[in-house]
Structure 1
Amino acid sequence: MPQAFVIEAIMIAIYGQLLHPDKPVNYIVPYTSIMELYEFAESQEPLMNDSVEEREVRERIKALIDYLEEPLNKKKIQRCLQMPWAVSSSILFTDHVQLSVVNAMDNAYYGESFDPIETELILSALRKEVPLLTDQFEMIHRMIEAKVPVQVYDIEDFSYALEGTSTV
């Protein structure tokens, strides 16, 4: 069984190494973070400081959107949108990477400390009992302060997270 992590879709586009892990991985992605990819793709604001990295990330965002819009993948995603907290069938990226989309619902439980997508990430990790993977140090700090009962890893520690997690 692949190791599972809850993650935002944009992280998969920004951090290309996430698509080349040493072990099988299933990324659980809230649907709203997939919709956010479209906003990033259309935004004129820079996503990266370096122009070469900016171009590469934008190309990966477009490629990810295109891949998720392929008929079979789109159908898997549309099915999970029928019910709150439904999870799509696995969408295969590589031999070691698959993605599952969750129709997460922000219930405002963590609303004072976290934005809606952060809340959906946390709630998804809680429901699936898997770690959260992020590059947002501030979010990690807020999770610790709020005593959120979710294991969280910085993306820089992805290799360590692969060693330290159990399969789901």
Structure 2
Amino acid sequence: MSRQFVTEAVMMAIYGQLLVPQSPVEYIVPYTTVMELYELRDSDEPLMNRADDDQHVKSKIRELIAYFEEPLNSKKINRCLSVPWAKSSGILLGERAQVTIINSVDNAAYGEAFDPIETELLLTSVREKVPVLTDQFELIQRIIEGGIPVQVYDIDDFEFAMEEETFRSSQ
């Protein structure tokens, strides 16, 4: 069985290690974060501190967009967009990684403490009973302080998160 995480599409472009995990993993990604890739691609604002890192990440964003736009992948994504909370079929991202797009809906359940994309990540996590994987320390802090009933991992702890599920499954 593969490990599952809720995350943003841009995380897969920034953190290449997510695409080459040691064991099978499925990323559940809200569709709005896929749309955010287009905004990030077209933005003049740097995503990374160093210019060469920024160029690399923007290149990876373009590659990810192109991959999602391939006919089979696009068809899988478009099928889930007509019904709230519908999920696409799995889209392979390598030998052991796949992404499932979810047509999540922000209903402002967590008020003004979280932006719409963060709210969709949290609602997806609660709905799917899957931990959130993020690089945003402030988001992790607000989840903990707000008592939001989700498990959350920092991307720096990705390998630990993968091992933790293996440990739980073997008990």
TM-score, scaled to structure 2: 0.96
Q: Counterpart of 1:78?
A: 78
Q: CA–CA distance in 2 between the matches of 1:104 and 1:3?
A: 20
Unmatched runs of 5 consecutive residues or more in structure 2: none
Report how many aligned residue pairs link the two structures: 167
Q: Counterpart of 1:159?
A: 159
Q: What displacement does 1:111 show?
A: 2.5
Q: Counterpart of 2:110?
A: 110
Calculate the aligned-residue CA RMSD, in Å: 0.9
The one-letter code matched in structure 1 to 2:97 is V
Bigger helix fraction: 2
The one-letter code matched in structure 2 to 1:144 is I
SS in 1 for 2:49: coil
Structure 1: which 4+ aligned runs deviate by more than 6 Å? none
SS in 2 for 1:147: coil
**1:13 and 2:13 correspond:** yes
Q: Is the 8 A contact 2:10 2:37 kept in 1?
A: yes
**CA-to-partner distance for each residue in 1:127-163, whole Å, 9 max, x for gaps?**
1101100000000000011100100000000000001
**1:67 and 2:67 correspond:** yes
The one-letter code matched in structure 2 to 1:141 is Q
TM-score, scaled to structure 1: 0.97
SS in 2 for 1:10: helix
**1:23 and 2:23 correspond:** yes
**CA-to-partner distance for each residue in 1:45-95, whole Å, 9 max, x for gaps?**
111111111111011000000000000000000000010000000001111
Q: Percent identity?
A: 58
Q: CA–CA distance in 2 between the matches of 1:14 and 1:70?
A: 21
**1:4 and 2:4 correspond:** yes
The one-letter code matched in structure 1 to 2:14 is I
Unmatched runs of 5 consecutive residues or more in structure 1: none
- Greater relative contact order, per chain length (Cα 8 Å cut-off, separation 6+): 1
**1:40 and 2:28 correspond:** no
SS in 2 for 1:81: helix
Q: Counterpart of 2:120?
A: 120
Q: Counterpart of 1:145?
A: 145
